[in-house]
Amino acid sequence: MDMICRRMMLLHARSRAQEAAIQWRGVEGKRHLRRFGTTSFLRAAKPSKPPIKSSQKKKTLDYRTPTRRPQTSSPPKPKSNPLRHRTIPIIFGGAALFAFSAGIAYLVTAATRLADNPVPTSASAQEDVSSRYDKIASSFDDSVDLTERLMGITSLRKKLASLAHGDVLEVSIGTGRNLSYYDWNFKGHGGVGKPDSRGNIKKGKVRGFTAVDKSPEMLEVAHEKFSKMFPGILGVRWVIADAAEKGAIPGPPRNANERGGNLEGKYDTVIQTMGLCSVGDPVALLKNLGECVKEEEGRILLLEHGRGRWEWLNKVLDNSAEGHAKEFGCWWNRDLGSIVEESGLEVVKIEQPKWWRHGGTTWWIELKKPKTEAAKAQK
């Protein structure tokens, strides 16, 4: 019994040992399979990457808010020069300012200079200097052209001449500075007038024209000027006479060949610019013009210069009147209001245009001759 028990214990121990050996082989086999598997083999065969050095580590970028890319558009247009269209006004404005400043400087200088002897303002006491125009006729236009443009006298001449119509008489015509501003009529006496831009004959308002001046030299300049403007034109008469003398001015011509004029006829329009300052007797001149214009419907149109609105300015005119008269042949300190009143003509309009520029020394005067008692009775 004892022997049997020992064998059974021995067999049992062997079987346990065999089982343990079998289990151990299985575990080792699996380890060998994992170690020498295909994946492990490929990994082992593939060259491994070198370890990343600490200096080659990628730096983390700062986060930036994404911005929209601006839409592509056409390049901006170059800015135009704002003064490009103002060059001419600036030039003329500067010239006008310079002339105005020079005029003020002259007035201030003249105002502080007292005349040795007070100059009279009445025409009867002033020297007749009308002969001066014969000496300055050739250079007169050049000496006054720029001044008249800057002071606005040229525009006033245009406005005055545009009112002329019918049979026109211009006294103290000088060098003919108003000739280019009349509305001439080609269908008048001898075809007086000028063509329009297309060369067509346009009927104007002036059908006959008589020019009168005391200075033959000034009248010759006006005649030459008109001949260049309208070569070969007849029907315009040029008369050397003192317009203040009775009977010196002929009436309007009845045809182009009439030189003496129709003494019975009267003018529709009588024009004079800067004439009352240069004649010896301005009151007699106006009275004589009243005898040449049609009663009631006729007009005497005057553009003159004389005393202004302010006493200090009149003082300047008085102090410099004699020197100005000897140089230019006119007395610019005459009281035109009193002269018109003494003439006995009826005032249609009288004003001092552009007084802010001229100080009231420029006068616009429209006169007419009222109907006489006999004419009223006949009517």
Q: 264 to each of 235, 254, 271, how far by Cα in Å?
A: 18, 11, 20
Q: For residue 43, which amino acid is it?
A: R
DSSP 295: B
Q: What is the pLDDT of residues 331-364, one digit of tens each?
A: 999 999 999 999 999 999 999 988 777 888 999 9
Whether residue 197 lies inside any domain: the answer is yes
Q: Which comes out higher in pLDDT, residue 123 or 289?
A: 289
**Residue 106 pLDDT > 90:** no
**319-327: long-range contacts, CB 8 A cutoff, minimum separation 24:** 319/110, 319/111, 319/113, 319/114, 319/115, 319/119, 320/110, 321/119, 322/115, 322/119, 325/126, 325/127, 325/129, 325/132, 326/129, 326/132, 327/132
Element spanning 103, H or E: helix 87-111
Per-residue pLDDT at 261: 66
Residue 191 structural domain: 123-378
Res. 2: pLDDT tops 50: yes
Quote the pLDDT of residue 36.
Answer: 46
What's the total number of domains in the chain? 1
Is the pLDDT higher at 119 or at 222?
Answer: 222
Q: Decide: helix, strand or coil at residue 13.
A: helix
Residue 42 has pLDDT above 50, yes or no: no
45 occurs within a structural domain? no
d(CA 239, CA 30): 149
Task: Encode pLDDT of 6-16 as tens digits.
Answer: 667 766 667 77
Cβ burial, residue 141 (10 Å; 0-12/13-18/19+): middle
Would you say residue 255 has pLDDT above 70? Answer: no
Average pLDDT of the chain to the nearest whole number = 78
Dihedral sign for Cα 337, 343, 345, 346, please. positive
Query: Rounded to a whole number, what is the distance in angstroms from the first to the last CA of the chain?
Result: 194
Residue 321, in any domain of the structure: yes
Q: Looking at the predicted structure, is the pLDDT value of residue 198 above 80? A: no
Amino acid at 278: S
* pLDDT above 70 (res 75): no
Report how far apart, in Å, the C-alpha atoms of 304 and of each of 27, 71, 142, 276, 350 are.
140, 70, 20, 7, 11
Q: What is the dihedral of CA 71, 77, 79, 80, to 10 degrees?
A: -160
pLDDT band at 38 (very low <50, low <70, confident <90, very high): very low
CATH number at residue 252: 3.40.50.150
Q: Does 106 map to a domain?
A: no
- Separation of alpha carbons 133 and 267, rounded Å: 27
With respect to residue 53, please indicate whether it lies within any of the assigned structural domains: no
pLDDT, residue 290, reads 97
pLDDT at residue 159 in the model: 97
Residue 96 domain-assigned (yes or no): no
Give the tens place of pLDDT for each residue, 170-192.
999 999 999 999 998 755 445 55
pLDDT grade for 207, boundaries at 50, 70 and 90? confident
Distance CA(166)–CA(374), nearest Å, equals: 25
- Mean pLDDT is highest, among 1-10, 116-125, 152-161, 248-257, for 152-161
98: left (phi over 0), alpha (psi -120 to 50) or beta: alpha
pTM to 2 decimals? 0.67
Percent of the chain with pLDDT strictly greater than 70: 61
pLDDT of residue 92: 66
Residue 372 to residue 370: CA distance in whole angstroms? 6
Average the pLDDT over 29-51 and give the result. Answer: 50
| pLDDT band at residue 204 using 50, 70 and 90 as cut-offs | confident
Max avg pLDDT among 9-13, 31-35, 111-115: 9-13
Residue 25 lies in a domain: no
For residue range 274-306, list pLDDT tens digits in order.
999 999 899 999 999 999 999 999 999 999 999
Is the predicted pLDDT of residue 220 greater than 60, yes or no? yes
**Residue 310: alpha-carbon gap to chain centroid:** 29
Of 201 and 271, the one with more pLDDT:
271
Residue 271, pLDDT > 80, answer yes
Q: What is the pLDDT of residue 56?
A: 55
Place 109 in a pLDDT band, splitting at 50, 70 and 90: low
Which neighbouring-strand residues pair with 236? Answer: 209
